Amino acid sequence: YILTVLERDSTTPARLSVDGDLHLQLSTGALQVQARDGINLDAGAALAVHSASVLLHSTHACLTTKTLQVSGERADSYWLQRHDTALHAHQYVQVHTAEFGDSRRRVEGHEDLYAGSVSQQVKNDWQLRGETLDLLADITVALDGQRINLG
């Protein structure tokens, strides 16, 4: 069999065919697979990879799947640019902290904010504009400043 593979016509692809399971085991060293024109892997119904560490270097990567579940103890992500698009996005976070150099948010429709308490601190100026502005309080509305202009 080995001589048939080695002495074959160069236009005929080499093929190793085995009935049943195949187990490769290296008692020492590493397994290295190289292919000039790429590697295609068809794992059938399932692919399982077990390793203490996985490293992937690629110029371009594309992952397409119907469902993706990712879990772990920590996730770090570093990008020069990042664009996220989703029809619906839901986040459930115990504590959320975000720090921005500049921030802009545009909501085309309606936005609701429900909180037990809201505190905003602005270093320089704060503007609130709208066709109609309502400030409602059950107990007290306080305006405090050296100069208050109404009208």
CA distance 66 to 81: 25
Residue 131 DSSP code = S
Contact of 64 with 70, CB cutoff 8 Å: no
Report pLDDT digits (tens) over 107-126: 999 999 999 999 999 999 99
Q: HSE (CB half, 13 Å, CA atoms) of 43?
A: 5
Q: Quick check: 16 pLDDT over 80?
A: no
Nearest to 18 by CA among 1, 38, 40: 1
Please state the pTM of the whole predicted model.
0.61
CA distance 112 to 115: 10
Strand, helix or coil at 5? helix
Nearest to 21 by CA among 40, 52, 54, 44: 44
Q: Longest C-alpha distance within the chain, in Å?
A: 97
The position carrying tokens 């068809």 is 42
CA 77 remoteness from chain centre? 8
CA distance 91 to 98: 14
pLDDT of residue 5: 55
Q: Quick check: 92 pLDDT over 70?
A: yes
pLDDT of residue 58: 94
Report pLDDT digits (tens) over 37-83: 999 999 999 999 999 999 999 999 999 999 999 999 999 999 999 99
Report pLDDT digits (tens) over 125-151: 999 999 999 999 999 999 999 999 887
